[in-house]
Structure formats: C-alpha cells, structure tokens
Chain A
C-alpha cells in the first residue's frame, strides 16, 4: 500500500535530470529498453541493461535499495516460471533477471514522472480514460485513509475473534462498506464537479517539445537496444 504513497512522493518532490526530462521522452526510453529486455538473448546483455538502470536510479537521486525491494514481488512470481524452466540451463536466471529489470525500469519511470502527467499522456487516447484515471488516482489516497481507519476500528472491535469464518464475514462487510461509501461519495463528487463547471473533460498543460537532454535519453535507449539485439 505504502509503495504508491512513496512513488507519488519521489515523483513530485525529488529534482533531478531525469525528473526534469520530458515525459514523452521518458516514455519512448521506457519503450526502447522494454523492447531491448524482451529481445535480449544473452545473460550478459541483461546484466548490462540492469547496470544502466541502476546508474539511472543514482542519477535520479532515488533510494535504489528501498525501491529495489519492490521488484522482488514480481521476482517471486517469476520464480514459479523460472522453476518451470529449470531443465534449460541459464534460462531460469534470465527469466528472473528480466522480471527484476523490467520492474526496476517501470519503477524508475513512475518514480520520476508524476502519475497525473503519465495519465494525461494516456488520456490523449480517450476522454473516458483521462477522467477515470485521474479519479482513480485522486480517490486512491482518500480510500487508503478510509480503509486504514476502518481496519483499525475493526481490530479494536476484535475482527479476528470468533474464528476464520467470522473474520471472512467481517472482511466481506468491510469490502461492501467501502463500495457503499464510494457510491455515496461519487454522487457528491459528481455534483461538486458540476458546480465547478465540469463537462467531462480534464485539461493538462504538458509540453511535448524535446530538449537536448531528452534527445540524449532517447539516444541512450537506442544504443542499449542496438547492444541488446547484437548477437
């Protein structure tokens, strides 16, 4: 839960070269490196890409060890897959390394690009997406507080007392309450938005012009791609 809080904090409060780069340039860089990781056929090129990402984390002034721990979650699931490939030499290791490297790459992107900026890029494809993504982002932080308060109250009232069946019943009721609360809140929010002149459109002012540093970032992505696909 706290990971999204911290991602939001890192993307909005740290100032670095990568934070200041154009979101579109970062998205192109992410795409190029993702393709490199997918097409890379050797362990050494994956290690090379991982090394570059670690360096970029340092340039972005992000706490690598703290964020790196989050990449272990996808690594666990990759382990299931890696174990299924255990008879194929180094392939399980490549699978694990791919999972960790992509997770770190995406984390680098979101920790240096505020979610609303990322969403406004996606929102260019659809008005529905732009609206729902912004509202999801906004409500996430409201609901997280609501949920934490409710969990505390439930614990005080002995949520786990009465056996596992009772616990499930309480969790089910808690989930239902969250949705009921959301319905009531969403009606209020919609009326408030209408008062403020909302017409189903969310505007953003993001520059899509590239600076020299943006072109350098894209250039780095292209070099990595060439290294990765060269046999």
Chain B
C-alpha cells in the first residue's frame, strides 16, 4: 500500500518534508551499507521483484507491495533503499506521483519496519509462521493506511486559493470522509490479500530456505 495522490494536490511543504525525511534517513543508513557490497545483487533482485509485483494490478486497482517480506529478507536498513528505489522507478512510469516519492518511501519503509518488529514478537507468541507473518503484514498494512489517511488529513489543500476565491469557498479542505469511504474498501481488500499471500510465502521460505529470512 502506498499513496496514489497525483502531483500538485498535496501542499509543497508536505512533500518536501517527505523528501527531507527520506534524505535524512538515507544519509544515516547509506554510509553503513556502502561496506556491504556482497548484498548489492540481492537487494537489486529484491527491488526488481517488488517492482514487478507492484506493477501487476490484481483485477481491481489493488496490487501487492511485499514490503514486509522484503524487510524480513534484507533487514531494516536495506529495506529503506528498496523502498526509495521502487517508488522512484514506479513514479517514472506514472505509478504514484513524482513529488510524493519521499512520502511513499516513508510509507513503504514503515510497513517493512513494523512488519519485522511484529513478526519477531508474533512468531514467538504464535508458533505458526503463516499466522504470525500474515497478522504482522495485516497490522503493518493497516497502520500504513492510517498513515496515508493522516497525510491526507494534514495536507489541508485549499481549493479557494487555487481558484483565486479565498473566503468564498466555505470549507477549504478535501473531504477526508469521502476519501476514506472511497479508499478504505480497496485498502482493506488489498491488505487482506497481501497478508494471506505473505503468510503462505513466509511459511514456504521457513520450510525450504529459512536462512533467507534475516
């Protein structure tokens, strides 16, 4: 799950803040990752898989992200790099706005980080990898949806300003209620599908090649 808000809708300060946050996090992790040359091909392949899977709509305009699985495979620092690269390339063919690559990177990375944390806790509590990975994915995706709603909430786009009719437009925000009503069924459906698939995927990896999970 990531933001599909077109360019020019969110206020400049918000998407610039997204880029700044991403730049700060990258500046922290990149010097450390520079020494891990051996992981470059694996991370490249992981990014290619996410890019490929994210580009396939599952009938409805819903697609998988696999960021929780990526987090479990490449770890928290590399998952930030994957998040940025995937969102940048997706934006290059019109999937997600170019200005919101920074915010989308944060949303993707949050899924990976939360997924790693929840999977660690849940796999100790529930001795079933399908259930723990599925649940960790579902909670992470729902949290990232709330994050997206939060971003829309704080964006407070001012239509009166766009139309040079300040003060005449009455309520000056995007209808958050309409946005939630329209996007939550898709978000719920997508989260549920992805959770089941990731659950089965992690179960399979644990059986066949458990060392793949970082």
Contact = CB atoms under 8 A, between A and B. Distances in A.
State whether these chains interact: yes
B9 A81 contact: yes
A172 interface: yes
Contact of B162 (A94, A127, A171): A94
Nearest to A103: B94
Contacts of B189: none
A84 B4 CA distance: 14
A78 B209 CA distance: 41
Q: Report, nearest first, the 4 A-B pairs whose CB atoms are least far apart.
A: A135-B44, A172-B200, A99-B6, A77-B4
B89 A136 contact: yes
A128 B81 contact: yes
Contacts, number: 235
A137 B30 CA distance: 20
B209 A183 contact: yes
Contacts of A86: 175, 178
Contacts of A7: 93
B47 A136 contact: yes
A225 B46 CA distance: 39
Contacts of A90: 163
A71 interface: yes
A42 B157 CA distance: 16
Interface stretch (B33-41, B111-119, B139-147): B33-41
Contacts of A85: 157, 159, 174-175
A122 B93 CA distance: 17
A107 B44 contact: no
